[in-house]
Amino acid sequence: MIIFENHLHLRRDGRCLDAVREFQKAGGTHLVLCQYPMPTLVAQEQSYQACYTQTLRLAEDIRTAVNVVVFVVVGPYPVDLLTLQETFGREKTIAMMKKGMDEAAELCSQGHCIAMGEIGRPHFPVDDQVIADSNEILKYGMAQAKDVGVPVVLHTESTTPELCKELVDMGAAVGLRPEQIVKHFSPPLITREENSGLMPSVLASKNNIIAALQKGTRFLMETDYIDDPKRPGAVLGPKTVPKLTSTLLAHHLMTDHQAHIIHVENPQTVYGIDLTE
């Protein structure tokens, strides 16, 4: 049975391969490795290419060591804007992050990555200028994603129906379809009326997934595991998605057909990948 984890991070100084082994032992088969924030390296190189390369190398190491399928998503982390502009100033930082979008798009066009992300806006209150600059960078990234035919994975403030509509409208302005917008760290807002047609990646707590299943199956499941030695298990542990899926199936709270849609059909539709190969 295919079990697809849509969003987790790994660090060389974290549990790293052991976390993936835990995922695999619990029944996980496919995962999306999302770019970890590396603002110090970006500042040193004045480019995102080095941190993207590190993430791609980590993915190769995982494939070699553990029997799971790994997909990679890269992009300039939104909070980098605040960190980088302290050193480089506002205009140079915006240019650097747009260049990071170009570098991510190129990796997607070459088939190394399946989406651009996580990109977007800081998840905590910031001033209006930061919001405006973040939107400028995000819209630029959406345009690059549209040009190379991949989705975007978005990191923003808390998800609401109003926010979803704003993001979908922003994508529409550059030709990006709603289903190509993946809202990371989403609550169970899974109907098109609630999310304006974007694809929610629902944080896989039991309550969230049960609430989502009561409305349908148009969502992905994620842990947003951050592999931080100072915060073990945060946000959710690496075995959460396979373990929760198994539990819901055993208790007849999820059917095999529903699991197939969530873990196979939805990822294939959003990312244009074949999980059955």
The pLDDT of residue 276 is 86
* Mean pLDDT, range 54-62, rounded to an integer: 98
* pLDDT tens sequence across 83-113: 999 999 999 999 999 999 999 999 999 999 9
CATH code of 4-271, in short, is 3.20.20.140
Is the pTM higher than 0.85? The answer reads yes
pLDDT for residue 277 is more than 90: no
The pLDDT of residue 73 is 98
What is the average pLDDT value for the chain, to the nearest integer? 98
CA atoms of 184 and 186, how far apart (whole Å): 6
Reported as a pLDDT band with limits 50, 70 and 90, residue 178 is very high
* pLDDT tens sequence across 216-266: 999 999 999 999 999 999 999 999 999 999 999 999 999 999 999 999 999
Q: DSSP string spanning 227-266?
A: --TTSTT-SS-TTHHHHHHHHHHHTTSS-HHHHHIIIIIH
The DSSP letter of residue 225 is: B
Structural domain boundaries in the chain: 4-271
The pLDDT of residue 235 is 98
pLDDT for residue 33 is more than 90: yes
pLDDT for residue 3 is more than 90: yes
Reported as a pLDDT band with limits 50, 70 and 90, residue 271 is very high
Reported as a pLDDT band with limits 50, 70 and 90, residue 17 is very high
Give CA torsion, residues 1, 220, 42, 49, to 10 deg.
60
